[in-house]
Chain A
Amino acid sequence: MAEMWITMGPQHPMTHGLWTLRVKVDGETVVDTVPELGYIHRGVEKICEARDYTQITPYCDRLCYASAMTWAQSYIYAAEDLLEAEVPERAEYIRLIAVEMQRIASHLMWLGAYTPDVGNLTVFVWCLRDRELFLDLLQELGGSRMHYNFPRIGGVKRDLPIGFATRAKAKIEMFLHRLKEYEMLLDESTIFLVRTQGVGACKAEEMIDAGVTGPNVRAAGVNYDVRWAHPYSVYDQIDGVAAVEKASSNEGSDCYDRYRVRMTEMIESCNMILSALDNIPGGAETHYNKKDEMIYTKPPSRAPAGNTGFHHFEDSRGESTFYLVGGGGKKGRGEFPYRISIRSPMFITIPFVAKTMIGYKVADIPAIMGSFDPCIGETDR
């Protein structure tokens, strides 16, 4: 049968954003793929060369609309490395709570976007309902629903509000019950199983070689996680483990494994939040004022000459890294970075996923693409 090229995107339910996948098909079988990115390239790296270190945080929030807190913190850790800033321990706990809540919200957004792709609309509505639980909590911290601008170089913007811990614990308890409902609904749905099991298989070593990280690799049976491998924050002082799933075939993990690992990761994140609320220095029901020394240490506004900073960070979708070179222009009291470079996990993952699709049917493309949790905001930067 004759082969032909089909263009999927930039507006296509499969893409979960704005990009194009060109697919070469032979009948119903995918023979070759070419991803085309860059539709929403905003030049964040260039913009940041004319902003001082504090002004960059809101831009990093907007790198990924589904996971703003992780991206802001990813930048903050690199900036602290550059500026040699110290952070109080209470602030590290608050950041950890915030970032794990964001991870749950991001995974819920993923599940909500993925299940309609594979024929289950109910979970979409449920996920968006429960995501609001965590967005409300994050709103209490940062003041807005999606782009928080919450972490600061040297601490956090605000302390936990009074009653935050009680509300968080109650919501998490309810959420853990609801997760079981999701599992009952999805694991017994024949349509969901048929469309995800045995589809999109890939192995751990292949993924690491191609630069794919995070939950997608842990789905293949390896518990590699930046949170223990290159430790930051206070993860070693709290309970919780990296979520792992078993690779279900000789070819590696399939879409179903990637769904399972994110479900487990949400439970683990809940455990981490509960553990952090119990162990936080100063107590979870105490509220310190803005810029109190318990939650904020004033950082230097200029980097030492010749300094660079980088930091690996476990984002909701894999490993994000910022690399900063200090000593750009000086203006007033602040300083601009000379160069800021962003490593986006999905930018590297999308070409890998496009290769993974080869050999499967056209109808499997949305199932495979969606299972890797694409986010185009961070991909195109």
Chain B
Amino acid sequence: MQSISFEQNISAVESAVEQINERFELVGIKCEIRKHKAGRKFSFVHIDCPPNHWVSLAKWLKFEQNVDYLSMITGIHFPLEFEFFSGKPGYKPGTPEKGWEVIVHLTRKGIRNPNVGEQIITNAAKLTGMGIPLEYQVSIVLPQTDEPSVPSVQSIWEGADWNEKETWDLVGIAFEGHENMMRVLNPHDSPEGFHPLQKQHKIRYHDHNEMYDDAQGFMRKPLDSDKKK
């Protein structure tokens, strides 16, 4: 199978990083080349974007750089402190400036509609310039807050719609301007403010010891144990 070569990849990444830095450096968007650390060790574009510039960056990527595909939106919760193992507080992943992070993975695929009865067969070895497929990773860091929120890009990539729904549902990061936000994986009548991937929610056997001490949960007291009958 004819595939993209290392030289094509690095030339595409370098030109993309250069263009982003040239255009967005003044507003605080930082862009750098990062490498995958296993396998082919190909490079991709990593962008650190403040939340208020995310929509303008997204529009520019979509309409000027031909980034036609939104792959995944990931929300991550970094609280100042939480109990990773029960009874052992002191695990401190977050800082006052970094309480939440939204990671967006984008891809430039360069797909065009073929005519009826025709095929567009791309020869990977002959791709140049903007035609070379490229991976983007955008990181949007939010400060410590109880109501994290970033602007929605639902109107730019249709594929962002359900990704944003899922991120809100599971992590609790709101997307401003998202139409028809709703629960998609959790039950639709879940309590307001319940987002299971936030770190204050523990899964039942988060700790090895807890699991071995009480594998079936028999030692838990019934809810009415202190009440006189």
Contacts and interface: CB of A to CB of B under 8 A. Distances in A.
A10 interface: no
Interface stretch (B51-59, B70-78, B142-150): B70-78
Interface string B99-119: 000010101010111101111
A195 interface: no
A37 B184 contact: yes
A365 B111 CA distance: 27
Contacts of B107: 230, 312
A29 interface: no
Interface string B11-37: 000000000000000000000000011
Contact of A232 (B40, B133, B203): B40
Contacts of A36: 188
Interface string B174-198: 0000000001111110000000110
Contacts of B219: none
Interface of A: 36-38, 41, 43, 45-47, 49-50, 77, 80-87, 203-205, 208-213, 217, 220-224, 227-233, 235-236, 238-242, 244-250, 252, 272, 307, 309-312, 319, 321, 323, 325, 327-329, 331-332, 338-339, 341, 343, 347-348, 351-352, 380-381
Looking at B157, B161, B166, the one whose CB has the most chain A CB atoms below 10 A away is B166
Nearest to B137: A310
Contacts of B113: 203-205, 220-221, 247, 252
Contact of A208 (B85, B111, B135): B111
Interface residues of B, number: 61
B121 interface: yes
Contacts of B3: 227-229, 231, 235-236
A50 to B, nearest CB: 5
Nearest to B132: A229
B224 to A, nearest CB: 28
A208 B69 contact: yes
B75 to A, nearest CB: 8
Nearest to B167: A341
Contact of A236 (B2, B158, B183): B2
Nearest to B103: A323
A203 B161 CA distance: 19
Contacts of A329: 84-85, 91
Interface in B135-174: 135, 137, 157-159, 161-163, 166, 170
A46 B4 contact: no
Given A222-B112, A310-B105, 14 more contacts: A36-B188, A38-B184, A87-B39, A209-B68, A211-B71, A211-B159, A222-B122, A228-B4, A230-B135, A231-B3, A240-B1, A242-B1, A247-B113, A311-B39
B96 interface: no
Looking at B4, B39, B42, B107, the one whose CB has the most chain A CB atoms below 10 A away is B39
Looking at A41, A228, A239, the one whose CB has the most chain B CB atoms below 10 A away is A228
Contacts of B10: none
A243 to B, nearest CB: 11
Nearest to B211: A50
